[in-house]
Amino acid sequence: MKPEETEYYSPVPPVVTPGNACGEAPSDAIILFDGKDLHNWVSANDTTKPAEWTVHDGVMTVKPGTGNIQTRQRFMDYQLHLEWREPVESANHVGQDRGNSGLFLASVGPGDDGYELQILDSYHNKTYVNGQCGSIYKQYPPLVNACRPPGEWQTYDVIWIAPRFNADGSLKSPARVTAFQNGILIQNDVVLKGRTLYIGHPYYSPHGPSPIKLQDHHHLVSFRNIWVRPLHLSE
């Protein structure tokens, strides 16, 4: 064979310009939070109302009691970058009561219905392993505990492949997640068992493109530099 017989020149991949520094949004990203306001977010309890979390010095912080917030836009498959910071809390906050929040990769119903990547202060803080930071909550513990101490900024970089459903509502293909925390692989193309449940076993029910949601778990967790790249993958 000639080398040319195994070479092809189309389709040509589109050009995407990387950010100038690590963690900065590339040229094709949708900026979900730029440090200025919450115009890309709404209340998850009532999507006709704006998000009520606080914004100060380029950072948004959970305002306890105001409820979860979610993106105005809906997504299928995507790459997501998110930075968060755990509050420094007193020693009487332990286990799940320590810097608790959550990143719901697809919000598909009322309350906390969706698929949760846990956010928690798991730095020298014991809890059930499928509920610690970096877990697919109540399904898969992280491969490692990659947490920084509270008060320091941390990152999630996530690849979300949404589930697909047949016309009759049955599951065609399950959701899959790959996630890095602080540059360290914590979830490697895991196949989700269904929606996140606090009590009971996960299950699927049909849905399409969905918002991304952040959880108000009554802790002062802060966020910055959130962007997403929709992925147009072949079926």
| Residues contacting residue 202 through CB under 8 Å, at least 6 positions apart | 138, 139, 192, 193, 194, 195, 196
pLDDT-derived band at 110, boundaries 50, 70, 90: low
pLDDT-derived band at 111, boundaries 50, 70, 90: low
How much is the pLDDT for 235?
61
Q: pLDDT digit string (tens) for 128-183?
A: 999 999 999 999 999 999 999 999 999 999 999 999 999 999 999 999 999 999 99
CB count within 10 Å of CB 191 equals 14
How much is the pLDDT for 113?
78
Question: Which structure tokens are listed for 220?
Answer: 């002062």
How much is the pLDDT for 49?
96
Task: Indicate if the pLDDT at residue 197 is higher than 70.
Answer: yes
- The 3-state DSSP class for residue 182 equals coil
Domains of the chain: 27-230 (2.60.120.560)
Residue type, 44: A
How much is the pLDDT for 35?
96
Q: pLDDT digit string (tens) for 33-69?
A: 999 999 999 999 999 999 999 999 999 999 999 999 9
Task: Indicate if the pLDDT at residue 109 is higher than 90.
Answer: no
Residue type, 92: N
- The 3-state DSSP class for residue 129 equals helix
HSE-CB of 105 using CA atoms within 13 angstroms: 32
pLDDT-derived band at 112, boundaries 50, 70, 90: low
Mean pLDDT of the chain: 95
Mean pLDDT within 200-213:
95
Residue type, 162: A
How much is the pLDDT for 89?
86
How much is the pLDDT for 126?
95
Instruction: Please choose, from the candidates 214, 225, 102, the residue with its C-alpha nearest in 3D space to the C-alpha of residue 153.
Output: 225
Q: pLDDT digit string (tens) for 95-107?
A: 999 999 999 999 9
pTM as predicted: 0.95
